[in-house]
Amino acid sequence: MKKSLKVERSDVLRSCGFDSLTAGPSLPHGRDLSFAPADRQAAGPHDGAQFQTFRPSDFQTFRPLTMDARSILHLDLDTFFVSVERVRDSRLNGRPVIIGGSSDRGVVSSCSYEARSFGVSSAMPMKMARAMCPEAVFIRGDMEMYTKYSRMVTDIIADKAPLYEKASVDEHYIDLTGMERFHGCAGWSHELRDTIIRETGLPISIGLSVNKTVSKIAAGEAKPNGEREVAQQQVLPFLDPLSIRKIPMIGQKTYHTLRSMGISTIHTLRVIPAEMLGSLMGQNGMEIWKKANGIDNTPVISYSEQKSISTEHTFDRDTTDTVMLNQMIVSMTEKLAYELRRQEKLASCLTVRIRYSDFDTHTLQQRVPYTAFDHVLISEAQSLFRRLWQRRMLIRLIGVKVSGLVRGVQQLNMFEDTPEMVSLYMTMDRLRGRFGRHAIRRAAGVMTAAERSERELRKASELLAEKSRMEERLRGWRY
């Protein structure tokens, strides 16, 4: 069966702002993105890595026709959770560290480079990680603390950057387009990275290039704790020799499909006719082809404009029915948490709104550790509602909103929750996906005070046991 997808390669190129496949001597607009020696000098000497610059080459295939080149910086904290643990306890420096669920059924959330050299990687079952690297220090993880450090980094960036996007707990993008006329982007980026390292103690890698995809790949290549600049004319020579795995949107499945076709480097991928990838993988194939060619027009979306998800309910009849109001808060928050998980997002802020029958409206908001879990959001929403509803007057409307969203899967929280809890969520989401959003709902306030305190106690004793295990490991460590 033949798919009726017909896209001319020239159409794709034109739509992306490129006029032909022929080599061009230089950028028609704007200026060369590499910096004058004076700019480099101004950045000053530094003990860390410097920007590595490719020599100009004649590899360039495409040239922008209508777009001025952009300057996009990607900042990515190295082994973020592990680095936070190391800031808090320097004895972990230089040692294999694995963060993840404490039971054998948990998975690895983050691991240090030392652990990686044993073959350990993220999302691997903890049991396998223990077998591969028994001498590692295993830590359960603390999302609240990681959220705090994540915000510290965001605050530094917000203070200095003209336009930034927080993409995940440990990744930011900054649009520096236009800045090169006044300061060197590379020098500025270097200073910012220095400030972050100095003020937080966390290692961070940066990539500076013409769009988000290339910057992200460049930051990846700069790791650990390095800097990499890829100017317009260096984009293709930089990408060509890399594995297709380095393209952010290529997951395990796509990787294996492409490998089975004999494609392993980005160069091989990008010289395949776009329409062939398109007919093979649909829109996804076209997107992959564009990325392999260093094309990505997606904008940096400022953090304040990043979407929130909200829902509200107006009662047919104004009410003071506590049980019903509470149930409504629970089911609304549940709906939002489900939506977060469906979109693979985590929220860091929760807002509850009530409107009294006299239209007097009150809002309260609360920062929360990054999460997409019902039980975290629901208890926060309930406590916000209790604080809000002081007047005990008839309520006309209630609303719940989650904001401060970043990309991320709930894997982040797996170390905090039992695998049973996670599989419960997955089952609930599957049911909702099949039978609709209202197919399944929790009974409001199922946990009694006794159950809650029992859980807290259990948590505390687990933490203590974990701490003593860690102390033991640290004592046993030999240089």
Residue 282 zone, left/alpha/beta (φ > 0; ψ -120 to 50; rest): left
The residue sitting closest to Mg ion, measured at its beta carbon, is 170
For the window 410-439, what string marks contact with Mg ion as x by the rule CB under 5 A?
------------------------------
Cβ distance to Mg ion smaller for residue 77 or 384: 77
Ranges within 27-86 binding Mg ion (CB under 5 A): 76-77
Q: Which is nearer to Mg ion, 225 or 310 (CB)?
A: 225
Q: Assess contact for 470 and 138: CB atoms under 8 A.
A: yes
Matching residue, tokens 């990846």: 220
Question: What SS3 state is found at 207?
Answer: strand
Q: How far is the CB of 134 from Mg ion (least distance, A)?
A: 26
Pattern of binders to Mg ion over 76-115, x per CB under 5 A?
xx--------------------------------------
CB of residue 253 vs Mg ion: minimum separation in angstroms? Answer: 22
Is the Cβ of residue 76 or residue 180 nearer to Mg ion in the bound state?
Answer: 76
Burial of 329 (0-12, 13-18, 19+ CB in 10 A): buried
Please choose, out of 162-170, 213-221, 315-323, 363-371, the segment that lies near Mg ion by the rule CB under 5 A: 162-170
Q: Which helix (H) or strand (E) is 274 found in, with range?
A: helix 274-281
| Other residues' Cβ atoms within 10 Å of the Cβ of residue 102 | 19
Distance of alpha carbon 158 from alpha carbon 21, whole angstroms: 39
Token pair of 150, please?
């994540």
Q: Pick from 425, 407, 427: which is nearest to 416 by CA?
A: 425
Q: How far apart are CB 350 and Mg ion at their closest, in Å?
A: 25
| Set 171, 227, 287, 380: catalytic member | 171
**Listed ranges 84-92, 169-177, 375-383, 391-399: which one lies at the site for Mg ion (CB under 5 A):** 169-177
Stretch that binds Mg ion, among 20-28, 165-173, 327-335, 429-437 (CB under 5 A): 165-173
Kindly state the number of chain residues that form the binding site for Mg ion, as judged by CB under 5 A.
3
- E-strand ranges in 18-78 read 72-77
The least distance separating Mg ion from the CB of residue 49, rounded to whole angstroms, comes to 16
Catalytic residue status for 165 = no
Q: What is the torsional sign of CA 59, 61, 62, 63?
A: positive
Question: Closest CB to Mg ion among 167 and 214?
Answer: 167
Pattern 222-261, Mg ion, x by CB under 5 A:
----------------------------------------
**Which residue, 77 or 398, has its beta carbon nearer to Mg ion?**
77
Residue with tokens 């080149």: 69
Helix (H, G, I), strand (E, B) or coil at 300: coil
Closest approach of Cβ 243 to Mg ion, in Å? Answer: 18
Quick one: 170 or 296, whose CB is closer to Mg ion? 170
CB of 74 to Mg ion, least distance (A): 10
DSSP annotation of 54 reads P
Least distance (Å) from Mg ion to the CB of residue 112? 12
Closer to Mg ion by CB, 85 or 170: give it: 170
For 26-31, the CB contacts below 8 A with 24+ separation are 26/233, 27/63, 27/64, 27/69, 27/232, 27/233, 28/63, 28/64, 28/65, 29/64, 29/67, 29/68, 29/69, 30/68, 30/69, 31/180
Nearer to Mg ion, 223 or 473 (CB): 223
What phi and psi, each to the nearest 5 degrees, are found at residue 355?
-125, 125
C-alpha to C-alpha distances, 63 to 16, 25, 131, 291, nearest whole angstrom: 10, 9, 51, 15
Tell me the window of 48-56, 166-174, 296-304, 311-319 that interacts with Mg ion (CB under 5 A): 166-174
**Under 8 Å between Cβ of 83 and 153:** no
Q: Which stretch binds Mg ion (CB under 5 A): 101-109, 121-129, 168-176, 262-270?
A: 168-176
CB 407 → Mg ion: shortest distance, Å?
Answer: 12
Residue 323-352 contact track with Mg ion, rule CB under 5 A, x = bound: ------------------------------
User: By CB under 5 A, is residue 170 in contact with Mg ion?
Assistant: yes
For residue 106, count other CB atoms closer than 10 A to its CB.
23
| Positions in the binding site for Mg ion (CB under 5 A) | 76-77, 170
Positions marked active-site: 171
